[in-house]
Amino acid sequence: MQEIKIGLEVHVQLNTESKLFCSCPTSQAEPNRNVCDVCLGFPGTKPVLNEKAIELALKIGYALDCRINKKFLFSRKTYFYPDLSKNFQITQLETPVSSGGKLNIKDNKIRIRRVHLEEDPAKIIREEDHVLLDYNRSGIPLVEIVTEPDLKSPREARIFLQKLQQILEFIYVGDFSKEGGIRVDANISMTKYESKYGYEEGLVEEKKGGVRVEIKNISGAKEVEKALNYEMLRQKNLLEVKRETRLWNEKTKITISAREKEEEDEYGYIFEPDLPVIELSDKILNEIQSNLPELPESKKRRFLKYKISPEIIDTLLTEPELTHYFEYLCETHNEKASAVLLAKYLKRTLNYHNLKLKDVDIDVRHLRRIIDLLQKYLITDDVAEIIIREMVGDHVKGKKVREPEQVLRDLKYEKPLEEERIRKFVLDVVRENTKAVKDYKIGKKESFDYLIGQVMKKTGRRASAKRIKELLKREVG
């Protein structure tokens, strides 16, 4: 028997406009441009806490069912390293913003130990014979989310992270398309129980392993799964596992030993004397809690009532904006038609261009009109998708996004055929394909699809497959 315990420390960059303790912007810039005396730690400077960062950290605490600490303080974690020009990092040790939460992965409850705020160190860029430092990152607000070792497999760790990332996107605390948006330290311990006969005691269980190894600085959920899988394989082939910290190399897909693991209390921690103890009022807490956006899990439960397939709902849930659009469309239109338009045609096109809905200027009113056209049989599904492709294409080319009707005019689109004309094509096809009709009648289902295809060709795609099917069924039974 084997027992695997995996715990994660997830670093999330909060989307504030300025850094955690100074007013330097967090936006992209030339190296070492977004810096000041405070984030470089010049003598005599004092940090000033960014309130927005607290608000975002509290939102995370609420979304993960944590206990909120109404009173908390900051500490200095002292160590010397070139990425830390102050020689200490401001973080939280004794009192994190919140603690004791949970996130469920199917039947497994993953306990959240703590959620705390801290500043990011500078970025180190290693080149052949020298090292470059970019202090733009120094002081960027991070939240660290620490789980208990409740995850049971690398796969589960990946699912957990994907779910966590989805929640964080839905409560608008971070932008994960940014560099360093989500970074993970993963720890794993594998315990093997082997049964063997003892001389006097009979059958005994022998416990092997159970040593905690940490893998540092992995970017993204997929890499975490790969790194943990590699680590399991490595440990299986060892007689004795050493307690240590290892680094994941994304290029070679292996972990390498970094150092013997040091404990948190081996760092010099002192209270940060330049920052006050923070005390939050009930009013502020209530406000943050009551304004917390609806979480994906709850949205999913609501959407499932519409009798839409779970796959389509999951696609809608990949972006908060898709779910907002869905709800707007449902105010006026059928739920299924709205979901299909967004989850299939729109999402597929966005994916193709590597875009998100929030990046593209597509109006809900435009989408409503496309559904109208579909429901009046004025366009087919194919054409609906073409309209959307054209509209997103306008955005990609940097042009003003056209309205659906304008797209149709530009495409010199002809209205779909009247029923009587489609029926004539159907009759033609039935007459010209006697063998396929016969095959269909003796039970060859694929012959029916062939006949539909033939009619489609004749109509020049100006009739929907659904309508052709109906009419064809009437003729051949």
Which residues lie near Zn ion (CB under 5 A)? Answer: 22, 24, 36, 38-39
To Zn ion, the closest distance from the beta carbon of 40 in angstroms equals 7
Output the smallest distance, CB 48 to Zn ion, in A.
10
CB within 8 A of 8, min separation 6: which ones? 145, 146, 147, 151, 157, 160, 161, 184, 185, 186, 187, 224
Q: Which is nearer to Zn ion, 33 or 222 (CB)?
A: 33
Min separation Cβ 345 and Zn ion, Å: 45
Pick the closer one to Zn ion by CB: 4 or 35. Answer: 35
Smallest separation (angstroms) from Zn ion to the CB of 31? 14
In the complex, the smallest distance separating the C-beta of residue 4 from Zn ion, rounded to whole angstroms, is 42
Of residues 48 and 258, the one with the C-beta less far from Zn ion:
48
- Nearer Cβ to Zn ion (134/214): 134
Choose between 122 and 218: whose C-beta lies nearer to Zn ion: 122
Report the residue number, 24 or 173, with the smaller CB distance to Zn ion: 24
Q: How far is the CB of 34 from Zn ion (least distance, A)?
A: 7
- Minimum Å gap between C-beta 25 and Zn ion is 9
